């Protein structure tokens, strides 16, 4: 890959990329409500209504963006997911811009955007911190590419901003940051950056942006690090970290050869070799740490951009017919990628149709979007069956964040008390202003609760519409009614906190 300035105007290129990226917004408004809120979104929604500079399970940016959306437009899945759709549309534009910085003309820029489209389509279907993690990685990648092309050290300011945004999004930003710093130290041609004031100003910008969250972490005894360590050990134990390398093919599908071509072209380029570290470093570190395969997903748009430029240059002097055929073949492969993502991950099927039932059976995330209002209604039915005297100090204990979030969202309309949960940030709210008794318990089982209460019985089972099966129906489907905690509530609550 040789240095070549883009031959087309920046504004026109950006406009064209933006028009193409806007298709994500069209898809969002067509199907943004999906089948309902996802389990994880219920936690983000809860935290969006209780803003702070950090949360037990994640940094603050995702919930902050969710808060802006619901404040402006009200609460619905479509509204909550709007920031994800916007952020992913921007990520597509940044992918095309990286191809431009690498010398790619419009065909290469659009090809890079098309290659990244399936991943952005997937990430825009829900509000998750992965969305803003992708945006942060791409911001770092774009300004690093521009730094290498122009040798203008002021681009370190943009890199610093991307790192700061990444800290506020998801702490996996540490992997490309460590890799970038290692490459700067190891490559003699890059060490001069350490003598530049712009490098240190970039570090300052990253620190200033990230500082509120880092202070929150310090004040809360780095609880998010404890939580992530706990969840990681659980994932490794139950096998969720298996298949890291095969997942790289799973998440890129027919675009994987383009990513390989992009990586090879970067490593062969004296000017842009540093960019290879933004993929290879995280690949090595994540594999050594036994991380989940999708953690590396934000590393691929850079490879797609480089691969698209290499592909177009390889065709530059080929016969016109061959160029058209090769482009059509690659675009068909990328279209198949997008179709596979839509088939599997988007809420496009009529409820209870054959395709919908396949999706429910084969996509755990989709199954976690169904039935939350009905679940809360079942809890309310248990409450309604109690004598009036039992409702005065009634408590509802939820043992996972999805159940707690659903009860917090839908419960007030049914006049249910605020849920009690020891999971993540729900724990901070405590068990209320009085010791509850009796207690409706969801997400647990009779054997466990008999250790806590003097009496406990199964009064109902969780049933979801259309026979959908997920954690609520398969793992702990019993709805329990328990009385008389064996120990004082303050004593029990002090040792109840758990992560999920």
Domain boundaries defined on the chain:
10-345, 372-493
Which pLDDT band, with edges at 50, 70 and 90, does 255 fall under? very high
pLDDT at 189: 84
DSSP-based three-state secondary structure for 397: strand
**Does 241 have pLDDT greater than 90?**
no
**Contacts of 300 by beta carbon, 8 Å cutoff, 6+ apart:** 116, 119, 251, 252, 255, 259, 279
- Average pLDDT along the chain: 93
Reported pTM? 0.93
DSSP-based three-state secondary structure for 420: strand
DSSP-based three-state secondary structure for 455: strand
Q: Which of 226-235, 282-291, 441-450, 469-478 has the lowest mean pLDDT?
A: 226-235
pLDDT at 94: 98
Rg of the chain over all Cα atoms, to the nearest angstrom? 25
| Cβ pair 166, 61 in contact under 8 A | no
**Does 2 have pLDDT greater than 80?**
no
Q: Which residue has the higher pLDDT, 40 or 4?
A: 40
Q: Which residue has the higher pLDDT, 83 or 10?
A: 83
pLDDT at 3: 54
| 152-203 tens-digit pLDDT | 999 999 999 999 999 999 999 999 999 999 999 998 888 889 999 999 999 9
Give the whole-number percent of the chain exceeding pLDDT 70: 99
| 139-149 tens-digit pLDDT | 999 999 999 99
Tokens of 39: 């389990």
pLDDT at 401: 93
Q: Select from 116, 132, 125, 129 the least CA-distant residue to 338.
A: 116
d(CA 47, CA 51): 6
Interval 110-124 mean pLDDT: 96
**Does 295 have pLDDT greater than 80?**
yes
**Does 389 have pLDDT greater than 60?**
yes
Give the whole-number percent of the chain exceeding pLDDT 90: 82
**Contacts of 490 by beta carbon, 8 Å cutoff, 6+ apart:** none
Interval 393-409 mean pLDDT: 95
pLDDT at 242: 85
Which pLDDT band, with edges at 50, 70 and 90, does 1 fall under? low
pLDDT at 234: 83
**Does 81 have pLDDT greater than 90?**
yes
Interval 268-286 mean pLDDT: 95
Q: Which whole-number Å values give the CA distances from 225 to 54, 283, 355, in the listed order?
A: 12, 21, 40
pLDDT at 240: 79
**Does 221 have pLDDT greater than 70?**
yes
d(CA 493, CA 385): 28
| 323-336 tens-digit pLDDT | 899 999 999 999 99
d(CA 438, CA 464): 25
pLDDT at 31: 85
Length of the chain: 500
Tokens of 439: 């207690």
pLDDT at 5: 53
């Amino acid at each position: 890959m040789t240095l070549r300035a883009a031959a087309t105007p920046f504004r026109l290129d950006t406009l064209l990329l933006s028009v193409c990226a806007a298709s994500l917004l069209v898809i969002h408004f067509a199907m943004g409500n999906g089948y309902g809120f996802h389990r994880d979104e219920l936690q983000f929604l809860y935290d969006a209504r209780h803003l702070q500079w950090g949360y037990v399970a994640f940094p603050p940016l995702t919930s902050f963006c969710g808060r802006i959306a619901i404040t402006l437009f009200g609460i619905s899945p479509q509204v909550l997911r709007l920031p994800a759709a916007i952020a992913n549309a921007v990520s597509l534009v940044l992918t095309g811009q990286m191809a431009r910085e690498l010398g790619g003309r419009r065909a290469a820029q659009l090809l890079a955007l098309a290659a990244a489209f399936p991943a952005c389509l997937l990430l825009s279907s829900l509000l998750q911190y992965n969305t803003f993690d992708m945006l942060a990685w791409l911001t770092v990648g774009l300004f690093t590419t521009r730094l290498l092309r122009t040798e203008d050290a002021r681009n370190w300011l943009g890199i610093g901003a991307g790192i700061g945004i990444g800290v506020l999004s998801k702490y996996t930003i540490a992997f490309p940051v460590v890799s970038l710093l290692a490459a700067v130290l190891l490559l003699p041609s890059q060490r001069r950056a350490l003598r530049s004031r712009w490098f240190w100003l970039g570090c300052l910008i990253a620190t200033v942006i990230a500082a509120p969250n880092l202070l929150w972490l310090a004040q809360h005894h780095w609880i998010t690090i404890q939580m992530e360590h706990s969840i990681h050990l659980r994932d490794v134990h139950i096998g969720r970290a298996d298949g890291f390398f095969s997942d790289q093919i799973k998440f890129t599908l027919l675009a994987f050869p383009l990513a390989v071509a992009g990586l090879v072209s970067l490593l062969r380029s004296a000017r842009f070799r540093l960019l290879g570290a933004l993929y290879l470093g995280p690949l090595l570190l994540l594999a050594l740490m036994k991380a989940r395969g999708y953690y590396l997903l934000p590393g691929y748009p850079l490879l797609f951009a480089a691969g698209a430029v290499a592909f177009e240059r390889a065709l530059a002097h080929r016969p016109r017919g061959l160029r058209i055929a090769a482009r059509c073949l690659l675009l068909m492969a990328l279209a198949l990628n997008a179709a596979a993502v839509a088939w599997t991950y988007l809420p496009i099927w009529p409820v209870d149709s054959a395709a919908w039932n396949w999706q429910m059976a084969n996509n755990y995330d989709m199954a976690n979007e169904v039935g939350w209002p009905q679940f809360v209604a079942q809890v309310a039915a248990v409450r309604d069956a109690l004598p009036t005297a039992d409702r005065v100090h009634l408590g509802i204990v939820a043992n996972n964040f999805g159940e707690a979030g659903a009860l917090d969202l839908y419960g007030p309309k049914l006049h249910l008390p605020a849920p009690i949960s020891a999971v993540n940030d729900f724990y901070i709210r405590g068990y209320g202003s009085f010791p509850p008794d009796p207690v409706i318990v969801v997400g647990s089982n009779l054997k466990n609760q008999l250790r806590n209460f003097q009496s406990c019985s199964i009064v109902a089972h969780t049933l979801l519409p259309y026979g959908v099966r997920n954690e609520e129906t398969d793992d702990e489907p019993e709805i329990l009614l328990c009385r008389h905690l064996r120990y004082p509530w303050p004593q029990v609550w002090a040792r109840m906190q758990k992560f999920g």
